Amino acid sequence: MAKLKLAVLISGRGSNLQALMAACAEPAYPAEIVLVISNHAEAKGIKWAGDANLPTLAINHKDFSNRADFDRKMTAAMNDAGVELVCLAGFMRLLSEEFVTYWRNRLINIHPSLLPAFKGLNVQARAITAGVKFSGCTVHYVRNEMDVGPIICQAVVPIHMDDDADALAARILVQEHIIYPQAVRWIAEKRISINDEKVDLDKPIQSDGSMINPMD
């Protein structure tokens, strides 16, 4: 069966890009990366992708007078590459309404909190400050409102009493690298449907356990 063609959009480190690249390197994985786009030419992920012989494109947003034109450039490049699913992976640019509408239900993101809690930036520090005992990450479809959209998959991690934001971010990142390739695989396998802005997964394995943190 033909593999689902992915674009991965990054701005920096690119560890989620690397997780997707590793998944796509497995012969049985049902998706392939056909384009990596960064708004920073020096993003580490762009170098890794280039080293792995993936097509890359650095587009400097400062070369565009408005957001919509920058987004149109990305859409044109993705259409040329035959992209079927756009994966945001640490892409630190707000997207125009036109772009989000054009790619509706073909555009997903990963966010390092259990949405709808802690949208936006500095979410690990904010979770610690709020004193919540669990955090995690969310893969979701993108809608116009930031960090809103049908949730495909979440992973939970405990927050330890001596955590700082970096320690919590590192614990969450391990799970990000698991659930992002998993969510993409489900989409490629056509097991996902969106009903009333909720995601249903065909043939899920569902956990009926619970977690308590801290423990005594």
Binding site for ligand GRF (CB under 6 A): 10, 12-16, 89-90, 110-112, 137, 173, 176
- In contact, 99 and 75? CB cutoff 8 Å: yes
State the Cα–Cα distance between residues 40 and 138, nearest whole angstrom: 25
DSSP assignment of 118-171: S-SSSHHHHHHHHT-SEEEEEEEE--SSTT-S-EEEEEEEEPPTT--HHHHHHH
> Could you tell me the smallest distance in angstroms from the CB atom of residue 190 to ligand GRF?
25
Nearer to ligand GRF, 89 or 157 (CB): 89
Residue 54 region by backbone torsions, left for phi larger than 0, else alpha for psi between -120 and 50, else beta: beta
- SS3 category, 52: coil
> Could you tell me the smallest distance in angstroms from the CB atom of residue 215 to ligand GRF?
27
CA distances (Å), origin 64, targets 36, 67, 70, 71: 19, 7, 6, 10
- In contact, 128 and 139? CB cutoff 8 Å: no
> Could you tell me the smallest distance in angstroms from the CB atom of residue 196 to ligand GRF?
26
Nearer to ligand GRF, 30 or 136 (CB): 136
State the residue number with the nearest CB to ligand GRF: 90
Nearer to ligand GRF, 159 or 212 (CB): 159
Annotated active-site residue 111? The verdict is yes
Q: Which two tokens stand for residue 8?
A: 């991965």
Nearer to ligand GRF, 20 or 200 (CB): 20
> Could you tell me the smallest distance in angstroms from the CB atom of residue 86 to ligand GRF?
14
Of 111, 140, 160, 177, the active-site residue reads: 111
State the Cα–Cα distance between residues 70 and 99, nearest whole angstrom: 10
Q: What is the set of active-site residues?
A: 111
